[in-house]
Amino acid sequence: MFSFFRRKKTTLVDQFVNTVYGDISREKTADLDTAVALAADELLGGNFDREQLAAIAKQLNDGPLPYSTHDLAVSVALWALKAVSPSDQSALFETQLKARLSVLDWLKEGKVVPALAAAFEHTLYEKFKPTEQANPTATEASTPPSKSASAEPPKRAIATVEGETVAVNAEWTGETLAEILDPASALRALLETHPSLADKDEPFLALAALRLVGFQLGAMQNSITTRIEHPVMERIQLSYIAALVKRYTTSLTGPSDPARLIQRLLPLARKVYEAFMSNRERAQEAGLHPVWFAGKEICLFLTGDPERINPEEIMNHGQFLHDTIVETKKLFDQLLDKGIRFVPSPLQ
């Protein structure tokens, strides 16, 4: 169990009194026990002590805000996740990601107020995203940042409610997909197979190409293309590519060139895509899936020698691509089926 009674902070009452509800004279409707259950089980996945959550819920509910049951659950979960120590963030990464998607769903259903849902998303995105520079060198660490570099970027509007529809912007969608499909764990496994490439970008480029092609193939399904406009999907894809590269470069200890990585990634992804598409009929005749040919293209990229290609590794890469296709389609279909609309630019 993770404990968050390590330091005392001001409660969410202080932060949201003037921004979340506006008129705080309305009656409270929160069911305390239900709110605790929602926070503990649906949002926090049973990872936090229920008695501590109940104590926080009572503290929040005794304040001036007129919480609904779901509003209170979101506030409790936000309080808990904000207090997570850096050493525990990795273990709770998937939990917070699922919680953010659940709150977006509740927003669509009108169960939480938009300002609270936006605060939940923005706060957890900022807290759990990779640091800009995980391990700076001594020289870099001692150099004071410039004024422009240290300036906090403006907060982005993640979603807005338009009648009964929730609209989310393309930038956020691409970044969230990159979180879900981050190849970091697969990268560690790949380096065990190719230790000589440990100091090179090729392993990342190989997996990122599979992730990009998997996104393209998953998003081209009819159930998605008929409901998301092509320019919007292009914006989502651009954000997705940039976020994949950023997540990788922020994990490096040395200098990196994100623009150069993207320049190398796109042609490789094109080769993998063409290997998949051009061999569909041939794959069927040979009793293979087209992902096999895409996996072979990746193996050739990594080894540079057809004689060194391992059939088992081809299948591993093919499965990685197949899983990406399936997960991409599943995510878009689920969001679209819930009535979520995608817009091309950051919401104002």
| 178 shares a domain with 241 | yes
Kindly report, residue by residue over 253-289, the tens digit of the pLDDT. 888 888 889 999 999 999 999 999 988 777 666 667 8
User: Domain end: 113, 128, 143, which one?
Assistant: 128
Mean pLDDT of 56-69: 86
126 vs 59, which has greater pLDDT?
Answer: 59
Question: Do 122 and 192 lie in a common domain?
Answer: no
Same domain, 210 and 120: no
Classify residue 39: in a domain, yes or no: yes
Distance in angstroms (rounded) separating the CA atoms of residues 264 and 281? 29
Structure tokens at 112: 């939480």
Instruction: Answer yes or no: is pLDDT of 79 > 60.
Output: yes
User: Domain boundary at 105, 128, 151, which?
Assistant: 128
Whether 174 and 67 map to the same domain: the answer is: no
Full domain range(s) for residue 16: 12-128
- Which of the pair, 12 or 293, is modelled with greater confidence? 293
* Cβ neighbours around 289 below 10 Å, total: 19
pLDDT at site 304: 84
**In which band, very low, low, confident or very high, does the pLDDT at 53 lie, cut at 50, 70 and 90?**
very high
- Specify the residue for token string 């009535």: 339
| Average pLDDT taken over every residue of the chain | 80
Is residue 124 domain-shared with residue 166, that is, in the same domain? no
Task: Name the token pair of 61.
Answer: 């509910």
Q: State the total domains in the chain.
A: 2
User: Rounded CA gap, 21 and 13, in Å?
Assistant: 11
Residue 147 resides in a domain? no
153 — pLDDT class (breaks 50, 70, 90): very low
pLDDT at residue 151 tops 70:
no
Q: Are 197 and 82 part of one and the same domain?
A: no
- On whether residue 148 sits in a domain, the answer given is no
Max mean pLDDT among 39-53, 122-136, 146-160, 297-311 falls in 39-53
What percent of the chain shows pLDDT beyond 70?
79
Q: Over 60: is that where the pLDDT of 134 sits?
A: no
Per-residue pLDDT, 269: 94
Residue 330 has a CB neighbour count (10 Å cut-off) of 11
CA atoms within 13 A on the CB side of 34: 8
**Residues pairing with 343 in the sheet:** 169
| Burial class (CB within 10 angstroms; exposed 0-12, middle 13-18, buried 19+) of 150 | exposed
Whether pLDDT at 198 is above 70? yes
Rounded Cα distance between 150 and 153, Å, is: 9
Residues 183-204 have a mean pLDDT of 91
**Is residue 159 within 8 Å of residue 170, measured between CB atoms?**
no
Name the domain boundary from 80, 108, 128: 128
Lowest mean pLDDT among 162-166, 198-202, 221-225: 162-166
Both 121 and 184 in one domain: the answer is no
Angle between helices 93-108 and 114-128 (to 10 degrees): 160
pLDDT (0 to 100) of residue 164: 52
Identify whether residues 204 and 256 lie together within a single domain.
yes
Please give the pLDDT value at position 17: 44
Which H or E element spans position 341?
Answer: strand 340-343
pLDDT band at 119; cut points 50, 70, 90: confident
- The pLDDT of residue 237 is 92
Q: Which residue has the tokens 């917070």?
A: 96
Kindly report whether the global pTM for this prediction surpasses the value 0.85. no
